[in-house]
Structure 1
Amino acid sequence: MDTNRSWDTITSALNRVSGPGRRGGDWTTYLCPVHESDGRHHHPSLGVVYNRSRGRTVVRCFAGCSDADVLNRLGLRVRDLFDNPQTPHPARRQSRSPEPALADRALQVAGLPLEVHRRDLGPRLARPQRRATYIYRWPNGRPAGCVIRVHTAHLHGYAKSFRQQRRTENRWEPGGFAHIPFHLPELLDAVRTGQDIFVCEGEADVLTATRAGLTATCNAGGAQGWHPDHAAWLAGAHRVWIIADRDAPGYRHAAKVARSLTNLVDELRIVQARDGKDLTDHCNAGHHIPDLDPVPLLDAHFRTLLSPGRQTAL
């Protein structure tokens, strides 16, 4: 048995990514790799503590970032939080052979890998730089929060990261905000007037869609950030087009969005870029919105689930 294995794994990764931690009481605090990775001065808000009785390490961002996002930035998995993660018993694993999830079957049909492996970008060349700020607004236009896009130059490209801030009565504070869709006032107008709505995976694609004359939205937090509260704002929409990124997180995000909307909208379509990964790549390659391709299995499943026999063209 490796004593404190999880603690060593987590703190070594944090020391590498965020710098040395500060010990205070039971918790050791670090700069959060999700929302405090811009190179500026911050009061560390990520706490780490070792639970000896359970043989695991607890990670908690006191500003609201999810454990999954923190681990993802560190290149770790949930199992790394445990000294001795449990593995399924072989007999039990053989007796349970569930059908692959719909999104995973769609990935297999499309010839795409089930996992995304980050390429090694090499050493960092410069301090993180803010590239864009996306404001999320309530229906009356009042800011609720924002997503800040940060790029960090490396030898073989750049790494992108995102952090969130919430709007209080008189200032911006670090941390997450309410589950509201991007461009919410425009979205509600489209629902009311029966216009088609396009759901993207990120804010940059929403802006690409807007420049193409579409009503588009997304959620903060990327592929894992969709919440039922986002779906509730689309209730009553006539037709929703979900534009899936052409990778495993993108297909799974699209399926999650579609499932949450099946009882709320009249019609669903799931499409993807003809070339490249996302809508921005699609448009940069010279394609137009009607050139988006149906996502294998996913589009047919949700199209017929809501509207049997209906064929809708862009």
Structure 2
Amino acid sequence: MDMLFILHPQHTAFDFAGPAEVIHMAAQAGAPFRLCVAGPQAECVNSLGVVNRVDPLPQTLADDTLVFLLGTEDEPRDYATPAALAIIDWLHAQFDPARHRLACICSGSLLAARAGLLDGRRCTTHHALIAMLRDWAPQAQVLENRMFVEDGSVFTSAGIAGGVDLALAIVERFAGGLLATQVARRMVIYLRRTGADPQLSPWLAHRNHLHPAVHKAQDLIARDPAADISVGEIAAQVHVSPRHLSRLFRNEAGIGLLDYRHGLRVELARQLIAQGQSVERAAEGAGFASARDLRRVWKQHAAGSPGRAAD
């Protein structure tokens, strides 16, 4: 899957470096990603004055390519330059929302708005640019106080650092929660949400700590949530006593070990049901003793019911 970053003059350096590093590390860890960088000019100067050498804008896009548009420092000026207009023309010619995906980092959503790619979409941008985005994309539903927004094939993020959160969500979507967690840990990223944001996926939740034994225990559970492995067996593999692991887990992760595993099992059951399995088969596949057991635990970790998960 191609992850194509489009660079334009005066793009914000971290809008590129942060998300691109997430994608790069995910690819190193086994994600099926190919990091590509292109632009309307062979040499592109970023907000720090550093010159990036990039490939020309491609004449064709492979199916499922995810195109990243980046923010800048002075949107009215920078998105009216010949380089920005060349990107807009290229998007009109090559980007097909039915075949491709779009990710806008910070004010990159304004460039997408110029190209008409946000019409009819829910989206967001930097808090200081909400009014401008509403003006530039009057047919879009612009949301405030959101870290990032996903609407079909279009992803948009808020401020500069929000692009890293969005990139991690993209890794989770296309390469799995366990791999996204590995990347977040490697980058020592504190995953953030506001009250209006979607809740963290169970695969990424409760990871905002730095204790290696607890992370290792979480990795063991997440690798196979349905496995019938006891607290004692997990403790032995992370080289602490069961009692000490239980205390560490709650203190560092903010949740009990068994509750953490239940949350992953509920999410696994949800995925199995969405794939067409019956509630009974999903319960068994996720490690529950019965569908009744799944329904009981589901109420503690998720809204709705297993029967509605396929809707």
TM-score, scaled relative to structure 2: 0.27
Higher helix share: 2
Higher strand share: 1
